[in-house]
């Protein structure tokens, strides 16, 4: 499929742009804080379209392409969820109002369409011309998995971002946000707003994300069209997932260990590909299984933590059925303040 007509890519990009235009022109015509209901609806729509796309691939090119797309989509989606931690931190550092966060992520997707396409094109060309690049990608993924397992978090320091330094040096900046605008004209002069700086940081961090996610998908698919479409569907879902899960992202206690295992698995898959090609069906089961176990374990862990907190509060509260010792305060039935015995 990598040698199919360029119209495959053009058609897919037009479809994605139409979705984004409908979102921005209809649902987000006025800047507002995205509700949980709205985020959940959009997430469901994107996931449904991704599954529909996978079914279309099955009907068109068979089960192998369909399973490769689904495996790539799952890998990308898992890594995208991990990226939510970074987005939460960025929006907190810049104190971006919730009503304007959607606009930043929207234009971030537009940039990702270009950046991911460039990464995939270069990666595909290298893999086709120099087969040994598959071992380089595999080693890099294993290294990333070990680093993630060791608990080394991604440090977000906007002040060290080269795009940020460039913008502050050469662009006139306003002191505060001007609604959802990236630029504003004041006294006849065009000024950049802090929201533009946030967008620049988001775009540059996506480059860092792509260095992990794009090689990971090469482990389960080789066709550039499959890799690109699985990337973009995951990115489309990332924006709505942010508004759906941002408040509870810390609850995914076992997500990072699962991501470490997934990256390690796909890295090893690439390293041993010359000796044994792991079937795509097994790869899909391993990736889906690790994600499912991580999510279920995270839910159980969160419930146990909540129960421990409740038990701790109960142990620290006075029991009105136990008489107070002399000189202590005892609760009085029907009274809001304690009285001495």
pTM: 0.70
pLDDT, average across residues 307-327 = 61
Q: With residue 340 as reference, give the H or E element that holds it.
A: strand 339-340
Mean pLDDT value of segment 127-154: 75
Q: What are phi and psi of 330, to 5 degrees?
A: -125, 140
- Per-residue pLDDT at 92 exceeds 80: no
Which has the minimum average pLDDT: 102-106, 163-167, 268-272, 325-329?
325-329
pLDDT at residue 90 is higher than 60: yes
**Average pLDDT rounded to a whole number, residues 17-25:** 74
Q: What is the pLDDT of residues 168-181, one digit of tens each?
A: 777 888 878 888 88
Nearest 10 degrees: CA dihedral of 308, 311, 313, 318?
-160
Q: How confident is the model at residue 21 (pLDDT cuts 50, 70, 90)?
A: confident
Measured CA to CA, the distance from residue 212 to residue 276 in angstroms comes to 23
Q: Would you kindly state where each structural domain of the chain is located, as residue ranges?
A: 7-312
- Report the alpha-carbon distance of residue 340 to residue 51 in Å, rounded: 68
Q: Which of these, 287, 292, 223, lies nearest to 76 by C-alpha position?
A: 287
For range 153-166, the mean pLDDT: 64
Specify which of 68-72, 83-87, 127-131, 173-177 reaches the highest per-range mean pLDDT. 68-72
Q: What is the mean pLDDT of residues 42-70?
A: 89
């Amino acid at each position: 499929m990598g040698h199919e007509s360029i119209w495959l890519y053009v058609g897919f990009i037009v479809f994605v742009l139409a979705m984004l235009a409908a979102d921005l022109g209809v649902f987000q015509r006025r800047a507002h804080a995205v509700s949980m209901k709205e985020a959940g609806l959009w997430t469901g729509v994107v996931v449904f379209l991704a599954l529909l796309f996978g079914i279309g691939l099955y009907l068109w090119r068979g089960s192998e392409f369909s399973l490769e797309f689904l495996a790539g989509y799952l890998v990308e989606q898992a890594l995208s969820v991990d990226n939510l931690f970074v987005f939460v931190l960025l929006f907190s550092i810049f104190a971006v109002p919730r009503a304007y966060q959607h606009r930043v992520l929207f234009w971030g997707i537009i940039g990702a369409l270009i950046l991911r396409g460039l990464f995939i094109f270069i990666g595909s060309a290298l893999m086709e011309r120099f087969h040994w690049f598959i071992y380089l990608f595999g080693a890099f993924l294993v290294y990333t998995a070990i680093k993630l397992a060791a608990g080394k978090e991604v440090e977000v320091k906007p002040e060290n971002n080269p795009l940020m330094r460039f913008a502050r040096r050469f662009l006139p900046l306003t002191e505060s946000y001007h609604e959802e605008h990236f630029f504003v004209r004041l006294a006849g002069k065009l000024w950049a707003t802090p929201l533009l700086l946030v967008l620049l940081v988001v775009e540059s961090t996506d480059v860092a994300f792509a260095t992990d996610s794009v090689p990971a998908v090469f482990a389960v698919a080789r066709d550039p069209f499959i890799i690109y479409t699985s990337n973009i569907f995951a990115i489309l879902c990332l924006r709505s997932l942010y508004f759906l899960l941002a408040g509870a992202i810390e609850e995914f206690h076992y997500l990072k260990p699962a991501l470490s295992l997934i990256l390690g698995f796909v890295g090893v898959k690439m390293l041993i590909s010359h000796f044994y090609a792991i079937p795509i069906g097994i790869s899909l089961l391993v990736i889906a299984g690790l994600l499912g176990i991580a999510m279920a374990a995270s839910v159980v862990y969160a419930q146990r933590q909540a129960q421990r907190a409740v038990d701790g509060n109960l142990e620290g509260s006075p029991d009105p059925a136990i008489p107070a010792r002399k000189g202590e305060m005892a609760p009085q039935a029907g009274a809001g303040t304690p009285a001495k015995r």
